[in-house]
Structure 1
Amino acid sequence: MTVLRTDLRKRYNHPDILIQVDDSWVQLADWLPRYFTEQVQQGVHFVPGQLVQVGWMLLRIEDNAEGCLFVSEPDLKSMPIQWSVGATRTVRLLALHRAICDELCVNLEFRSLREALSTTTEVPPNNEFYLTRTEAEGSNSGWILHRHNEAELRLMSLYEAALINNAIIPFLALPTGSAVVRNEDRLTVSVGGLELSSESSPLFRHLATADNFLDRY
């Protein structure tokens, strides 16, 4: 593990912020200290318990006995959210979301994991689902997760739905109008008139053959 550290105390009399990241993801996380520094330059004062949205994920600010702040992230295992030290999952997922949106030539459009998703009474499994995105409204993200175009839907948080079916996580930065269809080992993603599948895209083929997305990526 590598701990990235800001230099806020000397420059701005603000507690330094520590960001723990797995060694293999450090290069993709080096912007985080700069982000916190820029926020402090603009007058933001980070305090314990504060939540910071990074992509789809949230980072929680915590403090330690040395007077520094550090970040924790959801463990993607527990409901309600259990927090674990570091930002590796956040950085990994942000990189994957960027790769998928680049593949489809669209911009990233994030909603918070605390926002609502519409889904069926029984959340569809990892290997068979339809995921579509409509216009967001208030705290409703606009995402709809179903299996056979069921009429009766209920609301749950994106985070809770992702715990039950983590195969939806890679696609949660796609823009309004996107549609994702998973049928066993076949995956099709369409948005803005462009359609790619696990047959035409190595990235989607990789995702389509994962029984548990979090174990694969």
Structure 2
Amino acid sequence: MTSTEMKSNFQGQSGHPNIVVSMPSGPEFGAKSILSYFEDAVSQGTVFRAGETVQVGWMMLMLKSTEGGELDVWEPRFGEIPIVWERGASKTYRQLIVQKSVAELVGAEPAFPSLRQSGVISPDFMASKDFQMFRDQPTGTDSGWLFTTEQNVSSDGRLASLFEVASKRPEIIPFLALPAASSVVLKDGQVNISYGKKVVGSDSSDLLRRLPGRP
């Protein structure tokens, strides 16, 4: 897929530096969608500066100054902690759309956490093929997510940032914007989501069957 780059045209309008959004592996309409977010904010009086981070979906975008005085959009590179930034917003857009779509499967509005928020993981979660995840009401830096396994009998869970968990278990990413009182079970290659009285599984959902499980 060819790389796409789009740029705002603030010069002469608000005096705000132009913002550049690239999609190294994403569609043009994805870049347009991310750029529209910044354009709408600037039109309402927001001023963005180099070095700032902005949350879009569950992801964080970093604004970096270019030699020409513009603001370039960068996103986290998965698998490296602390965060290493790379140019573009391909993953941010892709994950935003997938998380919205998964929430729609159970008739819910997405409740995006932040990758900087924490979740609780059981001792065997990272090494297990199958997993379960449950969400309580988020509070402060706590996303509300608990990541565990069917076999887990330990109460020795530990806190970890959602970014750390997702870097090691990218299969969780599509489900992170499900609201409180949701649960997800991955077992024997099959996924089932529960929210209230709504249950959706990969046996009946093309979207769940197609989930790649990679950031």
TM-score normalised per structure 1? 0.91
CA distance in 2, matches of 1:174, 1:114: 17
SS in 2 for 1:170: helix
Tell me which amino acid in the other structure corresponds to 1:174: L
Q: Where does residue 46 of structure 1 map in the other structure? A: 48
User: For structure 1, which runs of at least 5 residues remain unmatched after alignment?
Assistant: none
Once the two structures are TM-superposed, the CA of residue 14 in structure 1 deviates from its matched residue by 1.0
CA distance in 1, matches of 2:53, 2:72: 12
Q: Where does residue 17 of structure 1 map in the other structure? A: 19
Once the two structures are TM-superposed, the CA of residue 24 in structure 1 deviates from its matched residue by 4.5
**Could you tell which deviates more after superposition, 165-174 or 147-156?**
147-156
State whether structure 2 residue 192 is matched by structure 1 residue 188: yes
State whether structure 2 residue 39 is matched by structure 1 residue 72: no
| Residues 3-14 of structure 1: pairs in structure 2 closer than 5 A | 3-14=5-16
Flag the 1:23–1:114 CA change in 2: closer, same or farther, 3 A: closer
State whether structure 2 residue 168 is matched by structure 1 residue 168: no
Q: Where does residue 204 of structure 2 map in the other structure? A: 200
Larger relative helix fraction: 1
**Could you tell which deviates more after superposition, 121-130 or 76-85?**
121-130
Q: How many aligned residue pairs are there? A: 211
| Residues 85-124 of structure 1: pairs in structure 2 closer than 5 A | 85-124=87-126
CA RMSD of aligned residues (A): 1.6
What are the Cα deviations for residues 62-97 of structure 1, in whole angstroms up to 9, with x where unaligned? 011111111000111211111110001100101111
Contact 2:4 2:31 in 1 (8 A): no
User: For structure 2, which runs of at least 5 residues remain unmatched after alignment?
Assistant: none
State whether structure 2 residue 47 is matched by structure 1 residue 29: no
Contact 1:125 1:165 in 2 (8 A): no
Tell me which amino acid in the other structure corresponds to 2:107: C
**Could you tell which deviates more after superposition, 97-106 or 109-118?**
97-106
SS in 2 for 1:8: coil
State whether structure 2 residue 140 is matched by structure 1 residue 128: no
TM-score normalised per structure 2? 0.92
Once the two structures are TM-superposed, the CA of residue 38 in structure 1 deviates from its matched residue by 2.1
Tell me which amino acid in the other structure corresponds to 2:196: G
